[in-house]
Amino acid sequence: MICRKEEKPLAYLLILPATIILGVLTLYPFGFMIYLSVHRWKASLSYIPKSFVGLSHFVRLFQDEFFWSAMSVTFRFLVFVVLIEFFLGLFLALILSREIKGRNLIRSLFLLPMMLAPVVVGLIWRFILNDEVGILNYFFSLIHLPPQSWLGDVNTALGAIMLVDVWQWTPFMILVLLAGLQSLPDEPFEAAKIDGASAWQTFKFITIPLLKPAILIALLFRTIDAYRIFDIIYVMTYGGPKTSTETLSLYVYRNGFRHYDMGYTAALSLVMLVIIIAISQGYIKFMVKE
């Protein structure tokens, strides 16, 4: 809608409160983060003054082994959980889209994990996976298998965290994909049936292409969410043992709130932001193209 000339001041006035709130809550912190990323500031030692260091934090970041380790953990985690959740979610959504007995009850049960706070989920699973009193090791002992230190072993800790994430967030995939499946038109399926298409052909050439928008939305949301995972890991392993479960979020947190190296933390956050914007843009471009 085009404003008349005399309405313009009113329009500016109306958007002013929202602009101020947005400025205070988003733009100012963002600007401060950029400012900090080019300054050295050790918050715990206030007698050391803030000093301008240019791009040295970014240079340091690319030489920092812990950063690359966190990057590797983050992307391994992201790729595995998003793929597993997607395929599992699609499979279960296809089952739940059919007329089966107790469908509504099963749907509600599937959604339960998603409703729990990640901190609660982390605590529950920490008990389940505890090597001394955990129920998982109890079941292992019943079949004469040695107990495992699921969260204490560098070889199993990340896998255990992935399992928990899959448990909690597969229902989200189910929900989005099920909604997508139920909104598909009947006609193409009827036409395929008349043409004698097999179930696999129908799935491959009709269901999946029609479901693409829902799939992309589900993948985009889960990718962003998995990329910034923090609370479950914080509660379950705190990034350890060693750095085996230290994702980028945890690494940013470690630098910020254990070492109080605020300048470097800001630089890390900025890089993290750029990466996720690039990933999201990739998804969005793909969606638009489709």
- CA 184, CA 207: separation in Å to the nearest integer? 8
Q: 39-40 and 51-52: which strand pairing? A: antiparallel
Rounded to 10 deg, the angle between the 157-182 and 118-128 helix axes is 130
Within positions 247 to 286, which residues make up the interface with other proteins, using CB under 8 A? 254, 257-261
- CA 137, CA 153: separation in Å to the nearest integer? 14
- Which region among 41-49, 118-126, 159-167, 222-230 touches other proteins (by CB under 8 A)? 41-49
| Rounded least distance, CB 25 to other proteins, Å | 19
Determine if 46 is a binding residue for other proteins (CB under 8 A).
Answer: yes
- Which region among 13-21, 45-53, 85-93, 169-177 touches other proteins (by CB under 8 A)? 45-53
Within positions 103 to 132, which residues make up the interface with other proteins, using CB under 8 A? 132
Size of the site for other proteins (CB under 8 A): 25
Determine if 50 is a binding residue for other proteins (CB under 8 A).
Answer: no
Rounded to 10 deg, the angle between the 208-227 and 262-289 helix axes is 180
Residue 189 has a CB neighbour count (10 Å cut-off) of: 15
Compose the 148-167 pattern: x for residues touching other proteins by CB under 8 A, - for all others. Answer: -x--xxx-------------
| Rounded least distance, CB 254 to other proteins, Å | 8
Determine if 68 is a binding residue for other proteins (CB under 8 A).
Answer: no
| Rounded least distance, CB 44 to other proteins, Å | 5
- CA 197, CA 180: separation in Å to the nearest integer? 22
Q: Which is nearer to other proteins, 56 or 280 (CB)?
A: 56
CA 113 to mean position of chain CA atoms:
15
Phi, psi of 186 (to 5 degrees): -80, -30
Candidate residues 33, 35, 38, 43; the one interacting with other proteins per rule CB under 8 A: 43
The contacts of residue 220 (CB under 8 Å, 6+ apart) are 280, 283, 284, 287
Within positions 187 to 246, which residues make up the interface with other proteins, using CB under 8 A? 238, 240-243
- CA 257, CA 253: separation in Å to the nearest integer? 6
Q: Which is nearer to other proteins, 117 or 133 (CB)?
A: 133
The residues binding other proteins (CB under 8 A) are 40, 42-48, 66, 132, 149, 152-154, 238, 240-243, 254, 257-261
